[in-house]
Structure 1
Amino acid sequence: MERKLRDPGLVQTGWMLSSAVARNDAFPDTFKIPSKERRSSLERGEAVQLLFDIETREAGKLIDRGIDRMWVIVIAVLPRGYQGVLDSDPGTAENLKLFRGDLIEFGPDHICKVDQPPEEFLKKEYGEYFQ
Structure 2
Amino acid sequence: MKSIATDGWELVSAEDRNTAHPNTFHIPTREQRETLVPGDGAKLLFDIEIRANGVIKDRGVERMWVIVKARSEGVYIGLLDNDPVTAENLQLQKGDVITFGPEHVSAISTPPRDYVIEKYGVSFFEE
TM-score (norm. length: structure 1): 0.93
For 1:31-110, list aligned pairs within 5 A. 31-110=25-104
Deviations 1:26-45 (A, max 9, x none): 10000000000000111000
Q: How much has 1:130 moved relative to structure 2?
A: 3.0
Determine helix, strand or coil for the equivalent of 1:50: strand
CA positional deviation for 1:126: 1.0
Which ranges of structure 1 fall in alignment gaps of 5 or more residues? 1-6
User: Which has a greater percent of helix?
Assistant: 2
Mapping for residues 3-14 of structure 1, pairs under 5 Å: 7-14=1-8
In the alignment, the residues of structure 1 paired with residue 11 and residue 85 of structure 2 have an alpha-carbon distance, to the nearest angstrom, of 16
Residue of structure 1 equivalent to 2:14: 20
Aligned to 2:125: 130
2:41 and 2:25 map into 1 onto residues whose CA distance is 19
Task: Pick the aligned partner of 1:117 from 107, 111, 122.
Answer: 111
- Other structure's SS at 2:125 match: coil
CA contact (8 A) 1:122 1:130 kept: no
Contact 1:82–1:106 under 8 Å retained in 2: yes
Secondary structure (helix, strand or coil) at the match of 2:16 reads: helix
RMSD: 0.9
Q: How many residues get paired? A: 125
Identity in percent: 47
Q: Secondary structure at the match of 1:129?
A: helix
Write out the 4+ residue segments of structure 1 that deviate beyond 2 Å after TM superposition.
none
- Matched residue SS, 2:26: coil
Give 1:3's aligned residue. Answer: none
Deviations along 1:60-95, whole A, 9 cap, x unmatched?
A: 011110000000000001112100000000021000
Distance (Å, rounded) in 2 between the aligned partners of 1:24 and 1:79? 25
